[in-house]
Amino acid sequence: VVTMNNLVSVIGGHQQMVNVYHNLLPRVLEIINAFAQEDEKRACELFEILEELIEFAVAVVVPHVRLIVEMCLRIGSDNTKPTTVQIKAISVVGWLIRSKGKVIQKNKLVEPIINVLIQLMAQQPDDDVNEEYFLGDPDQFTSITIATQTLDLIALHIPSEK
């Protein structure tokens, strides 16, 4: 998976590589899901392959949008998971909204995403005084911060009539 992450930026014009990544993506999601509970650092690193694919080879991701979003929402809303893993999962949803809002909409994923975001935003912050919802260092984000920013992305990238 680490090798796959390193090659993402060069697969754009190579249909065979796109096909390989497309076929392997469900397995990558299983691996991310397994590490989400066991190894916080590795899980966060593995989420980066999804971010890279969304940025450089979105054609690989589009057929799997429903699987990716459902997994990310499940992990992002699970309070037994480490906070950094939850944040990374919701961050991937934000990347998808930013680049493929219409696909999210077509797959009827807007409502489930909003439900999870509101659930996260309704949590009591650890430090209510220093909680910054739209600004700040990404390394200091909380699940509330990332949920707020992702909801903002929905407002920006998905038409309101939907």
Q: Specify the CATH number for the domain of residue 52.
A: 1.25.10
Q: Whole domain around residue 33: which residue ranges?
A: 2-157
Report which secondary-structure segment, H or E, holds 42. Answer: helix 40-56
> How many independent structural domains does the chain possess?
1
| pLDDT value of residue 7 | 85
| pLDDT by residue, tens only, the chain of 162 residues | 878 888 888 887 789 999 999 999 999 999 999 999 889 999 999 999 999 999 999 999 999 999 999 999 999 999 999 999 999 999 999 999 999 999 999 999 999 999 999 999 998 876 655 555 555 555 568 889 999 999 999 999 998 764
Q: Residue 114: inside a domain, yes or no?
A: yes
What are the residues whose beta carbons fall under 8 Å from the beta carbon of 119, sequence distance 6 or more?
Answer: 77
User: What whole-number distance in Å separates Cα of residue 97 and Cα of residue 83?
Assistant: 21
Q: Tell me whether residue 129 is in a domain.
A: yes
Does residue 10 form part of some domain?
A: yes
In a domain, 122, yes or no: yes
Asked whether residue 90 is assigned to any structural domain, the reply reads yes
- Give domain status of residue 119, yes or no: yes
0.85 surpassed by pTM: yes
Instruction: Give 130's contacts (C-beta < 8 A, 6+ positions apart).
Output: none
In a domain, 162, yes or no: no
pLDDT of residue 11: 86
